[in-house]
Amino acid sequence: DGHPDSERLSVKQRWRSLAPPQVYALAYLAAGAAPAFQQPTQIISFSFTPARELEFTDSALRYLASPPPRAQLTYGYDRWVRRPERRPRIDGLLRALSAARAKRHQALASGVGAVAFRGVLTRILTAPYEERDGWDMNVMRVNDVLYFEEHLTEEKLREKNDLPPQQRLQTYMGYAFESYCTSATPSPSNPPSVNVPQAPGDPPGWSGDVDTNVQWCSVVRTKLGETTFVIGGEVDCVRGKYTGKTNTFVELKTSMVIRNRQDEMRFEKKLLKFYMQSFLLGVPEILVGFRKPGGEVTTTQTFRTAEIPRLVRGKAHGWDPARCLAWGDAFFKFLKKHVHSDKQTERVATGEKLQREPEDKGNEERTQPEAAVWRVTFRPG
Ligand code: A3P
Ligand code: MG
Ligand code: MG
């Protein structure tokens, strides 16, 4: 079939664009069979503190708790400590990678082909089915390693910081669900118990007010086709014990209650994002809270990540992860071929320092490889 994916993609290095024929060649590749994806293994973890300091501890790790019946997700909205939206940067991940290399085997350094936060890779891999949101990526290459960052335009950044009140509340509800479903200490029982509220006046199950500065992140190493990836991502909590592996990780999600076939269809389309996000980090379990428009959770459902593709297979609105992986594999091969590491860069890049974008002035100091930034753009057709 006429793979439309390629026509929506452009790769540019400053003034230079890649010629269309090369983009078509990519589409040809994407038609191939699904490449293998290796089970991700954790190489290091880190936490962001309430002061948004990165530390190599598990202070922000949370344990799964059972949400109380009819949890109200608008609770605590006025006390939300909200981290302002900034350009998503790879710095934290690079610091983690350096720390992992210093602490453990140098082998971590060899063979890595791409480094990115999980959100960026989710956007890339789900592109074949994306109908609405385009993206812009910054891609940097130092020696044989590609580094990815999502590039938010000024306009997008402003949009994210000035969400209409209703959308802002909806975003908050996702975080409130996390407060009900997690605890700073492991639950003594399985299934886990409902949290005892910490502050007077808090509802049953509330584990504390939402502070979106705080995040626990896992960094994994995995392989898609022939490309070895180092991927960092936030993990919402772990079930039971923290094993230092991905096998007890749990992703928390909220979604609107399903009332009819159309709602069901919408949810099943959305499952691709839930699936890919979790799959990339090796998260085996997704707990979804279904809520009413007003914020009351009516039911919860656990999904095994590996079983999700079967739920949508063959449906008209369905999706096939194999197509995403084939596309992704071709996409990374394509970039490796066309995004060059300039000689000057290779000499400079002994440490890890990325070139600042001009519009970055005033942002925090970068800590990454000094390299030319390529802009990769995707627009849904
Ligand atoms: P829900 O997914 O339950 O709506 P994550 O699910 O990735 O752990 O993210 C936690 C919450 O952050 C989400 O909860 C949502 O409220 C908010 N969030 C994440 N990504 C977002 C995005 N791209 N736009 C708006 N809100 C987002
Ligand atoms: Mg999360
Ligand atoms: Mg979540």
Q: What is the pLDDT of residue 136?
A: 85
Structure tokens at 368: 């990454």
HSE, CB side, 13 Å, CA atoms: give it for residue 169.
12
Ligand 1 contact, 341 CB (< 6 A): no
Largest CA distance in the chain: 65
Cα–Cα dist 48/45, whole Å: 11
Q: pLDDT at position 350, please?
A: 30
19-23, 206-210, 260-264: which has the minimum mean pLDDT?
19-23
pLDDT value of position 31: 57
pLDDT for residue 196: 95
Which pLDDT tens digit goes with each residue over 93-118?
Answer: 999 998 998 887 656 667 899 999 99
Instruction: Give me the mean pLDDT over the 348-372 stretch.
Output: 42
Across all residues in the chain, what is the average pLDDT?
A: 85
Q: What is the pLDDT of residue 363?
A: 38
352, 368 Cβ separation under 8 angstroms: yes
Ligand 1 contact via 216 beta carbon (within 6 Å): no
Q: Considering every ligand atom, which ligand is closest to the CA of 73?
A: 1
Q: What pLDDT is attached to residue 241?
A: 94
Nearest CA to ligand 1 atom 11: 174
Give the range among 20-29, 52-61, 273-282, 337-346 with minimum mean pLDDT. 20-29
Among residues of the chain, what percentage have pLDDT more than 70? 82
Query: Residue 243 pLDDT more than 60?
Result: yes
Give the lowest-confidence range in 54-68, 266-280, 309-323, 359-373: 359-373
Q: Describe the crossing of helices 321-338 and 118-125 by its angle, rounded to 10 degrees.
A: 110
The bound ligand whose nearest atom lies closest to the alpha carbon of 167 is 1
Q: Which of 64, 253, 277 to mutate to test the pocket of ligand 1 (most atoms within 8 A of CB)?
A: 253
Residue nearest to atom 14 of ligand 1 (CA): 174
Q: For strand 16-17 and strand 237-238, is the pairing parallel, antiparallel, or unpaired? A: unpaired
Instruction: Enter the tokens of residue 158.
Output: 């402003």
CA of 211 to the centre of ligand 1 (A): 14
Please report the atom of ligand 1 found closest to the CA of residue 177. Answer: 3
Asked whether 174 lines ligand 1 (CB < 6 A), one says yes
pLDDT at 62 over 60: yes
Measured from the CB, is residue 278 less than 6 Å from ligand 1?
A: no
Strongest mean pLDDT among 7-11, 32-36, 232-236: 232-236
Give the integer Cα–Cα distance in Å for 251 and 238. 9
What ipTM does the predicted assembly reach? 0.96
- Percent of the chain clearing pLDDT 90 (strictly above): 64
Please indicate whether residue 171, judged by its CB atom, sits closer than 6 Å to ligand 1: yes
Find the helix or strand (DSSP H, E) in which 93 lies. Answer: helix 91-103
Mean pLDDT of 58-66: 98
pLDDT value of position 109: 65
In ligand 1, which atom is closest to the CA atom of 172? Answer: 16
126 lines ligand 1 (CB under 6 A): no
Which atom belonging to ligand 1 lies closest to the Cα atom of 163?
25
Q: What is the pLDDT of residue 120?
A: 96
In this prediction, residue 361 carries a pLDDT of: 39
Best probe residue, ligand 1, of 171, 211, 254, 305 (max atoms within 8 Å of C-beta) = 171
pLDDT digits over 186-205, tens only?
A: 999 999 999 999 899 999 99
Q: Whose CA is nearest to atom 17 of ligand 1?
A: 171
Q: Give me the helix-helix angle, 20-30 and 321-338, nearest 10°.
A: 140
Q: Report the distance separating Cα 271 and Cα 309, nearest Å.
A: 9
pLDDT at 338: 78
Percentage helix, strand, coil for the chain under 3-state DSSP, each rounded to 5:
35, 25, 40
Decide whether any atom of ligand 1 lies within 6 Å of the 236 Cβ. Answer: yes
Q: Structure pTM?
A: 0.89
At 10-40, the pLDDT tens digits run 454 433 344 444 454 455 455 567 899 999 9
The atom number, within ligand 1, closest to the CA of 170 reads 16
Mean pLDDT of 148-169: 92
The whole-number pLDDT of residue 86 equals 84
Phi and psi, residue 147, nearest 5°: -115, 135
Least confident window among 134-148, 158-172, 289-303, 304-318:
134-148
For residue 340, what pLDDT is reported?
A: 74
Q: What is the mean pLDDT of residues 163-183?
A: 98
> Which pLDDT score, from 0 to 100, does residue 325 have?
93
Ligand nearest to the CA of 251: 3
Atom of ligand 1 nearest to the CA of 289: 3
Which atom of ligand 1 is nearest the CA belonging to 119? 7
Q: Is the pLDDT of residue 371 over 50?
A: yes
Instruction: Specify the residue with its C-alpha closest to ligand 1, atom 20.
Output: 171
